[in-house]
């Protein structure tokens, strides 16, 4: 097990470098010029000087070399516009993104898993159909629209939560949670729709297995049959899905962050792309990609604990 983890981490290194190269080329291929954006309507005379100072006049391969070399020393570079290092500006945003992803995930699991189980217990019943109807709605509703509905109902209507903005944990846990509640709920509802669907089909499959009949034939109560015998097996595909969703949330909650005016990593990347702030975009994407790789690794390790059939690093 331990050697397996080490092996997996070692494999991460080449993957990571390859990713870096890919990201670098893609970002630098986008048409657009940060210098032009910086100067605006000012004369183009200074452009060459600035370009030289920023190192942008060097050939692309050389710039890649410099970036990778800096990267290996742990230096992500300086932002063109923010007046800060890339690492610093990403690190500032991580608490927001991480807590949004965490609470969003929490909501989606709390809503999605019970709904999926409930639907699977009586397939094609009214209950099942209504839950699947809710799920279809959740999958189809645009993120911004659900967010607006929640703001309209719970913020403007009932005045329970702020309509946007972020209050850091250092200013009190209560206002922190309040500021994150609506955006997390909005993310949670959408992903709970997927989780409910997945949970339902996984449970339906497990509930038809022979060992479920065995458990019933022992005289076990239906509750234990479902919660112990079926759920332990049915949850396995959900763990993978939760890992994937969490990784996605770490990188992809732009719309929700924008709508609720949360200073997360997603909105940082979007605004940096608009300004062609290459170092920030490169650093940010690399950060997202690494978090996906890491979450996947964590899920694989977690699997070995939930499913005894999986034994890593041992030849059977």
Partner 1 sequence: MAIQEHDPLLSVEHLSLSFETTESSVVVLDDISLAIGKDEIVALVGESGCGKSVTAMSIMRLLHSPPAQYKGGNIYFQGEDLLKSSDRHLRDIRGNRISMIFQEPMTSLNPVLTIGDQVAESLTLHNKLTKEETLKAVVDLLEKVRIPGARQRLKSFPTQYSGGMRQRIMIAMAISCKPDLLIADEPTTALDVTIQAQILELLKTLKRETSMSILLITHDLGVVAEFSERIIVMYAGQIVESASTRELFKTPLHPYTQGLLNSLPKLHNLETRLKTIEGYVPSLGKLPVGCHFHPRCSHVMPICRESCPPIIEIKQGHTCRCFLQSEACV
**Least distance between partner 1 and beta carbon 204 (Å):** 12
Q: Which contiguous run of DSSP H or E holds residue 245?
A: helix 236-252
Q: Which is nearer to partner 1, 95 or 237 (CB)?
A: 237
**Least distance between partner 1 and beta carbon 188 (Å):** 28
Please tell me whether residue 218 binds partner 1 under the rule CB under 8 A.
Answer: yes
Binding letters toward partner 1, positions 276-315, x by CB under 8 A? ------------------------------xxxx------
Q: Which is nearer to partner 1, 233 or 251 (CB)?
A: 233
Please tell me whether residue 220 binds partner 1 under the rule CB under 8 A.
Answer: yes
Site for partner 1 in 34-63 (CB under 8 A): none
Q: Which of 44, 83, 217, 315 binds partner 1 (CB under 8 A)?
A: 217
Q: How far apart are CA 6 and CA 156, in angstroms?
A: 51
Exposure string (b/e) for 299-315, b if CB count within 10 Å is 16 or more?
A: bbeebbeeeeeeeeeee
- Output the CA angle 124-242-96, nearest 5 degrees: 130
Residue 276, both tokens: 């062609």
- Residue 78, SS3 per DSSP: strand
Q: Which of 209, 271, 290, 296 binds partner 1 (CB under 8 A)?
A: 209
- Output the CA angle 280-100-108, nearest 5 degrees: 130
Please tell me whether residue 219 binds partner 1 under the rule CB under 8 A.
Answer: yes
Looking up tokens 């332990």, which residue turns up? 232
Site for partner 1 in 114-153 (CB under 8 A): none
Q: Which of 215, 226, 242, 253 binds partner 1 (CB under 8 A)?
A: 215
Q: Where are the alpha helices (DSSP H) in 122-172?
A: 126-140, 143-150
Binding letters toward partner 1, positions 222-261, x by CB under 8 A? ------xx--xx----------------------------
* Residue 284: C-alpha distances to residues 35, 186, 205 (Å): 20, 24, 40
* Residue 261: half-sphere exposure toward Cβ, Cα within 13 Å: 8
Q: Which of 221, 227, 274, 298 binds partner 1 (CB under 8 A)?
A: 221
**DSSP tag of 63:** H
Please tell me whether residue 15 binds partner 1 under the rule CB under 8 A.
Answer: no
- Chain contacts with partner 1 (rule: CB under 8 A): 209-211, 213-221, 228-229, 232-233, 306-309
């Amino acid at each position: 097990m331990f050697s397996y983890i080490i092996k997996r981490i070692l494999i991460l290194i080449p993957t990571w470098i390859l990713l870096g190269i890919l990201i670098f080329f893609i970002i630098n291929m986008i048409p657009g010029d940060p210098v032009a954006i910086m100067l605006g309507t000012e004369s183009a005379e200074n452009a060459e000087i600035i370009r030289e100072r920023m190192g942008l006049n060097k050939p692309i391969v050389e710039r890649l070399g410099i970036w990778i070399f800096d990267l290996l020393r742990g230096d992500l570079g300086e932002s063109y516009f923010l007046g800060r290092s890339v690492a610093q500006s990403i690190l500032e945003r991580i608490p927001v993104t991480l807590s949004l992803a965490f609470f969003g995930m929490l909501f989606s699991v709390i809503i999605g898993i019970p709904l999926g189980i409930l639907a699977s217990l009586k397939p094609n019943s009214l209950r099942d159909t209504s839950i699947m109807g809710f799920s279809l709605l959740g999958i189809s509703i645009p993120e911004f629209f659900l967010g607006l509905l929640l703001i309209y109902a719970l913020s403007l209507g009932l005045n329970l939560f702020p309509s946007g903005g972020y209050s850091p944990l250092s200013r009190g846990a209560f206002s922190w949670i309040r500021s994150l509640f609506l955006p997390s709920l909005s993310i949670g509802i959408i992903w709970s729709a997927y989780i409910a669907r997945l949970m339902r089909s996984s449970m339906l499959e497990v509930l038809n297995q022979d060992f479920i009949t065995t458990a019933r034939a022992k005289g076990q109560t239906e509750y234990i049959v479902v919660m112990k015998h079926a759920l332990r097996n049915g949850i396995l595909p959900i763990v993978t899905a939760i890992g994937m969703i969490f990784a996605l949330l770490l990188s992809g909650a732009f719309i929700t962050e924008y709508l609720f005016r949360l200073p997360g990593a997603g909105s940082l990347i979007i605004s940096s792309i608009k300004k062609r702030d290459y170092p920030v975009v490169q650093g940010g994407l690399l950060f997202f990609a690494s978090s996906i790789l890491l979450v996947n690794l964590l899920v694989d390790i977690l699997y070995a604990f939930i499913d005894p059939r999986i034994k890593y690093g041992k030849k059977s």
